[in-house]
Structure 1
Amino acid sequence: MKDGSVKQPRVAFVCLQDAARPEIISGGPYRIREAFRELGCEVVDMFPIKPRIAWAFLPKKIAFRLLGLYYHWEWEPLFQRQVARYIERRLSAVRPDLVYVVQPQAASELRTDIPVVVGHDQTFIERLNYFPFEQRPPCNTYVGQAILKEGEVFRKASLIVYPSHRSIDMVRSAYKIDDARLAMIPWGGNLAVDPTASEVEQMIIDRGFGPFTLTFMGVDWPRKGGNIVLEAHRLLRERGIDVRLNIIGVQPPIPSDSAITVIPFLSKRKPADIERLSNILSRTHLLFVPSRVEAFGHVFAEAAAFGVPSVAQDVGGVATIIENGVSGILLPEHAGAEAFADAVGALFARQEDYRAMARTARGRYDSDLNWRAYCSSILSRVFDQLPV
């Protein structure tokens, strides 16, 4: 443009589900879409996508369910072709500069000369780690189709974006994708409230050092390591440390305890619930979610926004967010409750170390654990010079 200004690109935002709903895929698609808009991009919604052919696969799904197996048609070639034809028709009408695809299964059959960015929180191969915690194992048909078609997506995409080194390493090793089309860009948090740096500094000071508050957030109590949290909390109190525990998002099978507050559900859409969660996080010393399986962990980025260090196990992409002893406590996979109690208790004995860790956690949020940084990094990688 003659005045030297830069026009931000038009982004086609593709998602099989309704990305306008903040609860979809833990809120990731909703926040990514909003971040592109905040950066000045014109976002063209291409969601939800629900081809009628899906009904043809319903008997197959029912048959596998009766066998005690999981199956879904999202990786079926015929389903994916109809998804692709819908996207292609929309693309020809609006001619965007970039296509951002939330789920790889929406892009395997896509044919276009427009740059396509595929972004998700984990590969399908990593997703297989979740099935031991679910009701039914996947059928071989589903697994075979998914791995085959995911590889096709990666070989066609202009840029493949995942939020952890582990996922990027999986794409590189399992699918033989060259580094030029790979980008490790951390995801952000999905809270509606984004406190300022000065507000967070005051929160850190106001927390004091006694009683100490641990907060667990998660729906899946077994997979998120709820029993480890409960046992570590008990051990800390036995050692004479005044520790309180908030459990948010689930009603676990535990007896009533005056030192434990259980909040089974908080909505990200209700202002009262949003305010309540913000107040809890502002007073929390440590977020304690020692997941046994985790793709990335939005909740750790959300805690960092409030200057709350996280306590977790080194699984999945968690190490991308938490640096042990610097921005939180990250123990080896399969660490037990006693090891966590030792680490937490030691940190609570060092006030200045805790405050430094809390400030570092917030610093990570400001630098790269937010959605604006994520979308900005994508734009800078795709375009040497933004279209004018």
Structure 2
Amino acid sequence: MKSNLRIGFITALDPEDKRSWSGIYYRMYQSLNEQFEEVNALGPIRLNLVETVRMNLSILLFKVYHFFRYGSKVKSIHLSARSKAYSRFFERKLEYLNIDVLFAPVASLEIAYLRTNIPICYFSDTTFGQLWSYYHDEEGISSLVKKLGNRIEQLAIDNSTSQVFSSEWAAQYAVDFYGANSVFVTQLGANMDHDLSFNPRSLKDQINLLFIGVDWNRKGGTIVYQTFKSLLDKGYKVSLNVCGCIPPNEHPNMKVIPFLDKNVEEDVKRMRQLYEEADIYFMPTRAETYGIVFCEAAAFGLPVVSTNTGGVSSIVEDGKTGFLLPHYAVYNDYVEIIERLISNEELYIELSLNARRKFESQLNWSSWGKETRMILEHTAKGLTR
């Protein structure tokens, strides 16, 4: 039975566009509609001409000041002028709606300055401070931009009744650095239909490695290619499918699919085919706050070989659904672990079945929706943990 709570869904982008935030907004929005009678999409943000000019002028003046003061361009969108404009947009929206609780995924900009008495549930896979210290060299960001970004994040957390993160890694940082005091952790799901049929896997004569990612370097593409070549040199029958980017290397045993659009049915079918044809999902990522692709791999019962970094371990269980190597591991280490996996079919099948079970029990949007429903009901009452 659906809850009669009225939900306001705050996003700067359109939650019904499957391309927004890799389709995560879309899946969240659909999942909440399954749990609540009324879910109001308050985005996408459309400022009028006057507001747009005012906001852009303020940002431009700040960028000019920043360039002359620090000698570098601004490397962040976390600026108060943008945040205040976004907040005013949603304040006007809320004047005409009866909302019981607001759900704000990855929306620190949108809620930092939002003036409302409606309880807010803020969701994110990371926070500003963690993102910049993890993904980027902190020396590449000025002290002023860092201060402003952290202020917006702090205001968003302080302005929310509850804070939800997709991993313990992100949640703990929010508690330690920003003092978040009503924290929950919920795992996101695979951006595939949750009722996908599953055929138990077994090893084939030729092992097909799958890599999906838009950033070849950050996702560990160089290690992937080195590992792939080494396996071939050692006499293994291996192929590699790369999707989402164009790597700098070419090989007869490597197939590249530069881009697939999840709004296009034919592309969705092709994506599923890539997972179905693969034997191992191999992405030794250098930095990852979560990784929906790992959830998708689990949906198809694909053992994962990746890195123990960021939020990856919240999805992939080392030795149970795949293998997570330390960040300092080199390609020879990955060759060794893949050799171990493909030479032991019993182990391979065990990891495959465990991965599918984890998808069915946790890494799907139906499970996420049920967990988030409880959190939103908790939030609506104005309770804190």
TM-score computed with the length of structure 2 as normaliser: 0.89
Q: 1:75 — aligned with what?
A: 79
Distance in 1, Cα, partners of 2:380 & 2:118:
14
Q: 2:62 — aligned with what?
A: 60
Q: 1:185 — aligned with what?
A: 186
Q: 1:366 — aligned with what?
A: 360
Q: Which amino acid aligns with 2:60?
A: L
| Pairing 1:35–2:36 present | no
Q: 1:260 — aligned with what?
A: 254
Q: 1:167 — aligned with what?
A: 170
Q: 2:213 — aligned with what?
A: 218
Distance in 2, Cα, partners of 1:42 & 1:316:
35
| Pairing 1:289–2:291 present | no
Query: Match for 2:121 among 113, 117, 122?
Result: 117
Cα deviation per residue 1:252-276 (whole Å; 9 max; x = unaligned)?
1113x22111111111122221111
- Assess, with a 3 A threshold, how the Cα gap between structure 1 residues 352 and 283 changes in structure 2: closer, same or farther: same
In 1, are the aligned partners of 2:9 and 2:39 still within 8 Å (CA)?
yes
Size of the aligned set, in residue pairs, is 371
In 2, are the aligned partners of 1:12 and 1:44 still within 8 Å (CA)?
yes
1:63 to partner: Cα distance = 6.6
Q: Secondary structure at the match of 1:93?
A: coil
- Assess, with a 3 A threshold, how the Cα gap between structure 1 residues 6 and 371 changes in structure 2: closer, same or farther: closer
Distance in 2, Cα, partners of 1:65 & 1:17:
29
1:140 to partner: Cα distance = 2.9
- Assess, with a 3 A threshold, how the Cα gap between structure 1 residues 18 and 278 changes in structure 2: closer, same or farther: same
1:73 to partner: Cα distance = 4.7
Q: Secondary structure at the match of 1:9?
A: strand
- Assess, with a 3 A threshold, how the Cα gap between structure 1 residues 73 and 215 changes in structure 2: closer, same or farther: closer
Q: Secondary structure at the match of 1:8?
A: strand
1:334 to partner: Cα distance = 1.9
- Assess, with a 3 A threshold, how the Cα gap between structure 1 residues 253 and 187 changes in structure 2: closer, same or farther: same
- Assess, with a 3 A threshold, how the Cα gap between structure 1 residues 33 and 371 changes in structure 2: closer, same or farther: same
In 1, are the aligned partners of 2:210 and 2:240 still within 8 Å (CA)?
yes
Distance in 2, Cα, partners of 1:86 & 1:265:
34
Distance in 2, Cα, partners of 1:357 & 1:325:
8
Aligned runs of 1:1-388 on 2, under 5 Å?
7-49=3-45, 50=47, 51-52=51-52, 53-56=54-57, 57-61=59-63, 67-76=71-80, 78-102=81-105, 103-128=107-132, 129-132=134-137, 137-178=140-181, 181-191=182-192, 193-196=193-196, 199-200=197-198, 202=199, 204-205=200-201, 208-255=203-250, 257-383=251-377
1:307 to partner: Cα distance = 1.1
Q: What residue ranges of structure 1 are gaps of 5+ in the alignment?
A: none
Distance in 2, Cα, partners of 1:47 & 1:72:
21
1:386 to partner: Cα distance = 8.8
Q: Secondary structure at the match of 1:10?
A: strand
- Assess, with a 3 A threshold, how the Cα gap between structure 1 residues 11 and 314 changes in structure 2: closer, same or farther: same
- Assess, with a 3 A threshold, how the Cα gap between structure 1 residues 71 and 151 changes in structure 2: closer, same or farther: same
In 2, are the aligned partners of 1:297 and 1:318 still within 8 Å (CA)?
yes
1:75 to partner: Cα distance = 2.9
Distance in 2, Cα, partners of 1:30 & 1:316:
24
Distance in 2, Cα, partners of 1:282 & 1:70:
43
Q: Which amino acid aligns with 1:130?
A: Y
Cα deviation per residue 1:212-235 (whole Å; 9 max; x = unaligned)?
111011111110000101111112
- Assess, with a 3 A threshold, how the Cα gap between structure 1 residues 233 and 145 changes in structure 2: closer, same or farther: same
1:107 to partner: Cα distance = 0.8
Distance in 1, Cα, partners of 2:286 & 2:42:
34
Percent of residue pairs bearing the same amino acid type: 26
RMSD: 2.3
Q: Which amino acid aligns with 2:39?
A: V
Q: What residue ranges of structure 2 are gaps of 5+ in the alignment?
A: none
In 2, are the aligned partners of 1:65 and 1:71 still within 8 Å (CA)?
no
In 2, are the aligned partners of 1:214 and 1:244 still within 8 Å (CA)?
yes
- Assess, with a 3 A threshold, how the Cα gap between structure 1 residues 46 and 62 changes in structure 2: closer, same or farther: farther
In 1, are the aligned partners of 2:206 and 2:237 still within 8 Å (CA)?
yes
Q: Which amino acid aligns with 1:33?
A: Y
Cα deviation per residue 1:271-309 (whole Å; 9 max; x = unaligned)?
221111111101211111111111101111111111112
Q: Secondary structure at the match of 1:277?
A: helix
In 2, are the aligned partners of 1:21 and 1:30 still within 8 Å (CA)?
yes
